[in-house]
Structure 1
Amino acid sequence: MDYTPVTPFRRPINAAILHYQAAAQQDLPPSGVNKWEALRELAAARIAFGLSDRDLSVLQALVSFHQATIVGGNHSETVVHPSNKAICERLNGMPCSTMRRHLANLVQTGFVVRRDSPNGKRYARRYGDEKIAFGFDLAPLAQRFVEVCEAAEAVRAAEERYKRLRSTVSLMRRDLAGLVDYGRSLRPDRAIWDQASDLCVLTARDLRRKLDFAELQQIESALSEALNATRDLLEPVQSQDMSTNDVTNEQHYQNSNKDSYDFEPRLEKAQDEGSVSDPATALVAEGRTDEPVPVDNNLPRIPLGLVLAACSEYRAYAERPVRHWHDLVRVADVIRPMMGVSPSAWDEAKQYMGPEEASVVILVMLERFGDIRSPGGYLRTLSAKAALGEFSCGPMIMALMRKDAA
C-alpha cells in the first residue's frame, strides 16, 4: 500500500499511540522472532510494561491467528484480521466488551498496532502479487523482542534476589530462636532473651504475608543486630592486648634463631596443646564457680584475636569486621575457592578439624600461598592428621608470628 495510516478508525489518539505507530515503521529483525518465545518472555516481564494476565490472554489469541511461527524475517506478513467474535471464541467466551478493554491496553502499551481500513473493517485483499491487510499488526513483538528479554531477565533477577533474601531472613530467625533458648539456659536473668524472642515471633508473623523487598531488608537488619548482640554474650571476643592477657602471654614465643622457621604443624606441638586445661577447669581451680561458663570443645584452642593478629591477607576478602568465629568461617568460605581448594577437600577439613579450625588453616595458607604448590592436597594432608588426632592449628599461628617477628 502506498500510504500507511497512523490514526485508528473513530477512536481517539494520544502521544503513546503516535510513538508506537512510528516505532512500528522500523525494519523487522532479519532472522525474525519465534512468536511463542516472545509471548513467554513478555509474560515474565508483563508487570514492567503495565500488562495484566488477561491482556496477555488476548494477545495470545491474536498471535494464534498468525499462520507462521516466526514473526518477521522472510515472513513479512504481520497483520492479522480476525473478527471480534472469532477472538472471543478463542478466549473461551470472554465478553466482547472485556476483550476490547484488554485490546485497548495492548494498543496503548505498543505491543499491538491498529491498521484500520477506511471503514474500520478488518480484511485482506490482493492486488496482483501484493497483499494488503487491515487489522492488528504484531510487528512490535519482533521489534521489541530484545527490550522484552532484557526486562524479563531483570524481573527474574529481582525475583531471585527476593527469594534469597526471604530465605536468609527465615534462617536468621531460626538461628536467633535457637540462640535465645541456649542463652536462657546459661543466663536466664538477661532481658535480651525476651526482646530477641519477641523479634522471632514478630518475624514469623510477618513472613506469613507477602512482604516487599524493602520490608525484608529492614527485618534482616533487625535480625542481624539481634544475632550479634546474642553472640556477643555467648561468644565474647578475646582481647588482642597481649600485655594484659595471660593466655596470649603464655603463648608468646620469641625465637632468636631466625633460620628455624617451621611452617608445617608438628605432631609434638599438637599433643602438647591437647594437655592444656580448658577454661572451665581453670575457673574451678581459681574458685570462680559462681556463674556457668559455656565451653565449646570444637573451637580452636587459640584465641581468635591471636589468629587475626597473625593473619592480615584475609582482610581483602572480608566484607565486614571479623568479630566471632562464625565470621571467620564465612570469610574462609569466600577464600577457599579462590585458592583452588575443592569443595570435597573443604568438607573433609571441616569434618575432621571443625569449621573454625579449618578456617584458621585457610587463613594461614593464604598468608603463605606462594609457598604451597597444591593447596587442596596440602589441606587434605592436614585433614588426615586431624582425623588421627595429631593436628592443631596453634603451631601454624605461632610459626607465622615468629616469622613476622624475625
Structure 2
Amino acid sequence: MGYMPLTPFGRTVDAVLLKHQQAAADGSSMLSAVSKWDALRDLAAARKSYGLSDRDLSVLQALLGFLPGKEISPQPGVTVVHPSNRAICERLNGMPSSTMRRHMARLVDAGILIRRDSPNGKRYVRRYQGERVAYGFDLSPLAFRFAEFSDAAEARRAEEARIKQLRETVSLMRRDLLNLALCGAADRPELTVWDQFHDLAHLTARDLRRKLGADDLEALQARLATALTETNNLLEPVCAEDLGTSDTQIEHHYQNSKKDSFESEQTVTAAPAAATESKDETGYAENPAAERPVHSETPPQPPEAPAPSGPSLPLRLVLSACGEICGYADGAIRHWNDLLRAADTVRPMMGISATVWEDAKTAMGTAEAATVVAAMLERFSEIRSPSGYLRHLSAKAVSGRFTSAPMVLALTRRGAAA
C-alpha cells in the first residue's frame, strides 16, 4: 500500500485512536506472526480488562473468519479484511447491522481493530502490479499486542482461581458455622449467641449467590473466622464432657466405672457384717450362706434418676420439623406412641444400641427420647456417633440440663431458611 490512512472516514479522531495507530507502526517491526485463534483465546480470557463483552468477541471471531490462513502478521496493512456489513451479519447468525456496528466500535476503541478506510469509506481490495491494496479492518493489533494479551489473560486466570478458592473457603466456613450453631443451640441453649451465628451463616449463603470480588470474599472470610473462633471457645466445655467418639469405648468405660465403684462400696459395707456372724467351735460360720459375698446376694443398684417430664413441644411441631421419621412409621403418626414405635424402628439403623436407647427413655421419658431420635435423624449425616451423642444427652437429662425443644426449633429455623 502506497499510503496508509490514519483517520477513519466520516468519524472523529481522538488521542486514543492515534495512540493505537502509533503503537501499531512502532511495535511491529521485530515481531513474528502469531496464531489468530491463540490471540482470540487469550483476549477472551482477559476481555474484562479491556472492557469487552462476549458479544464483542463474537464479532471479532467473525472478522477472523474472513482472514485466510491461521496466522496474523504484525505488519500494519497486511492483515486487512474487507467484508461488507451484510456478510459480517450473516456470519453472526443474523445480528442486526446496528448492533454489529456498535460492537465493532468497541473493538476499535479498545485498540483491537484499526480502521483502514478508503477515500469514499468503502471496503474493498485492489491489486496494482502484484501489490495488494485493501481497505477495511486491520487485525494486526492482535499480533503485535499478543504478549500483552497473554500476560493479561494469565493475570485474569490467577485472579479467578484466587476468587474460586476464596469462595470455596467461605462456603466451607459458612457450613461449619451453621452446624456448630445448631449443635451449640442443642447443647448450650442458655446462650443467646447461637441465633447470631445462625443468621450470619444464612446471610453469607445469600451473599454467595452474587458474584463477589476478592475483597468482599476476604471480608466474609474474616467475619466467619472470628465467629468460628468464638463458637469453638463456647463449645469447648461441651466437647470436654464427651468421653470418646466410639460407641463401644463410651459404653465400655461407663460400665466399668460403675461396676468398680459399686463393688468397692459393697466390699466395705460387707466387712462389718461378716465380722458379727456367729461361728461354731471349729471357727466356721453356722450359716453356710453367710460365707457367700454380700455383693453377690444384693446386686448393686444404679442411682435413681429424677422422674422424666413429659414432651416439651407439641407433636405437630415435632413432626413439622422432623419429617424424615414419618417414612419409618407403619402409617400416619397421630400420637406419641406412633412416634415411639417409629423411633424403635429407626434406632438400630442409626447405630444406637439397645442399652443406650433404654437409658435414654428412662432418663428423658419415652416421648422426649423419641423426639430426640427424630431430630437426630434429620442431622444424621452430621453426627459422628449417634449412640454416643444420645448417651451424652441422656446424661444431661439425668441432671436436668437437657430438653429437646432447642433441637427441634433449630431444625424449624433451618427448614424455614432453606
| Shorter-normalised TM range | 0.5 to 0.7
- Aligned partner of 1:64 in structure 2 is 65
C-alpha displacement of 1:30:
4.1
The 1-side partners of 2:85 and 2:29 are apart by 27
Aligned pairs for 1:388-403 within 5 A = none
Separation (CA, whole Å) in 2 of partners of 1:185 and 1:106: 60
Instruction: Name the CA shift for 1:136/1:28 in 2 (closer, same or farther; >3 Å).
Output: farther
Task: Give the deviation of 1:181 after TM superposition.
Answer: 2.7
CA distance in 1: counterparts of 2:137 and 2:112, whole angstroms: 10
Q: Does 1:2 align with 2:8?
A: no
For residues 28 and 87 of structure 1, do their structure 2 counterparts lie closer, same or farther at Cα, with a shift above 3 Å needed?
farther
Contact 1:29 1:143 in 2 (8 A): no
* Counterparts of residues 29-48 of structure 1 (less than 5 Å): 30-48=31-49
Equivalent in the alignment of 2:303? none
Asked whether the 8 Å contact 2:82–2:125 carries over to 1, the reply is yes
The Cα shift of 1:125 comes to 1.6
Distance 1:182 1:116 in 2: 71
Q: In the comparison of the two structures, how many residue pairs are matched?
A: 240
| Aligned residue type for 1:142 | A
Please show how residues 120-269 of structure 1 align to structure 2 within 5 Å: 120-235=121-236
Contact 1:180 1:193 in 2 (8 A): yes
CA displacement, residues 342-390 of structure 1 (integer Å, 9 cap, x when unaligned): xxxxxxxxxxxxxxxxxxxxxxxxxxxxxxxxxxxxxxxxxxxxxxxxx
CA distance in 2, matches of 1:43, 1:28: 26
Residue 235 of structure 1: SS of its match in structure 2?
helix
User: CA–CA distance in 1 between the matches of 2:228 and 2:208?
Assistant: 18
Question: Would you say the 8 A contact 1:68–1:75 is kept in 2?
Answer: no
Offset at 1:75? Answer: 11
Return closer, same or farther for 1:93/1:185 CA change in 2, 3 Å cut-off.
closer
Q: List per-residue Cα deviations over 1:120-143 (Å, max 9, x = no partner).
A: 121112222321111111000001
What is the CA–CA distance in structure 2 between the aligned matches of 1:89 and 1:166, rounded to whole Å?
Answer: 41
Residue 28 of structure 1, CA deviation: 5.5
1:401 paired residue number: none
Cα separation, 1, equivalents of 2:119 and 2:98 = 23
Classify 1:29/1:62 alpha carbon distance in 2 versus 1 (closer, same or farther; 3 Å). Answer: farther
User: CA–CA distance in 1 between the matches of 2:79 and 2:125?
Assistant: 12
Contact kept? 1:32, 1:72, Cα under 8 Å: yes
Q: Which structure 1 residue ranges, 4+ long, deviate > 3 Å from structure 2?
A: 28-31, 73-76
> Does the CA-based 8 Å contact 2:76-2:138 persist in structure 1?
no
2:52 corresponds to which letter in structure 1?
Answer: L
- In the TM superposition, residue 74 of structure 1 has moved relative to its aligned partner by 9.8
Given the superposition, is the C-alpha separation of residues 70 and 76 from structure 1 closer, same or farther in structure 2, using an over 3 Å criterion? farther
Distance 1:127-1:38 versus aligned 2 partners, 3 A rule = same
Identity over aligned pairs, percent: 57
Using the size of structure 2 for normalisation, the TM-score is 0.54
User: What are the equivalent positions in structure 2 for 1:287-326 lying under 5 Å apart?
Assistant: none
Q: Contact 1:176–1:227 (CA<8 Å) still a contact in 2? A: yes
Structure 2 contact 74–140 (Cα < 8 Å) conserved: no
Name 1:24's counterpart in structure 2: 24
How far apart are the structure 1 equivalents of 2:74 and 2:202? 58
AA matched with 2:66: F
More off after superposition, 75-84 vs 113-122 = 75-84
Amino acid at match of 2:231: T
CA distance in 1 between counterparts of 2:201 and 2:31 reads 57
Deviation, 1:83, is 1.2
The aligned residue for residue 11 of structure 1 is 11
Instruction: Confirm or deny: 8 A CA contact 1:51 1:105 kept in the other structure.
Output: yes
Task: For structure 2, list consecutive stretches of 5 or more residues without a partner in the other structure.
Answer: 238-252, 262-418
| TM-superposition CA deviations, 1:283-306 (whole Å, max 9, x none) | xx9xxxxxxxxxxxxxxxxxxxxx
Structure 1 unaligned spans of 5+: 237-276, 286-406
- Distance in 1 separating the partners of 2:24 and 2:75: 17
Q: Deviations over 1:244-299 (max 9, x none)?
A: xxxxxxxxxxxxxxxxxxxxxxxxxxxxxxxxx99xx9xxx9xxxxxxxxxxxxxx
Q: 2:82–2:123: 8 Å Cα contact kept in structure 1?
A: yes
Q: SS of the residue aligned with 1:13?
A: coil
Report the Cα distance in structure 2 between the residues aligned to 1:158 and 1:4, rounded to whole angstroms: 40
Kept in 2, the 8 Å contact 1:179–1:230? The answer is yes
The verdict on how the C-alpha distance between 1:52 and 1:85 changes in structure 2, with shifts beyond 3 A counting, is same
Rounded Cα–Cα distance in structure 1 between residues aligned with 2:104 and 2:184: 61
Residues 107-164 of structure 1 deviation map (CA, whole Å, 9 limit, x = unaligned): 1111110111122121112222321111111000001111111111111111111111
Q: What is aligned with 1:79?
A: 80
Residues of 1 paired with 2:110 and 2:75: CA distance? 26
Return the letter of the residue paired with 1:127: Y
Equivalent residues of 1:28, 1:143 under 8 A apart: no
AA paired with 2:124?
Y
- Alignment RMSD (CA, Å): 2.4
State the secondary structure of the residue aligned to 1:141. Answer: helix
CA radius of gyration, larger in: 2
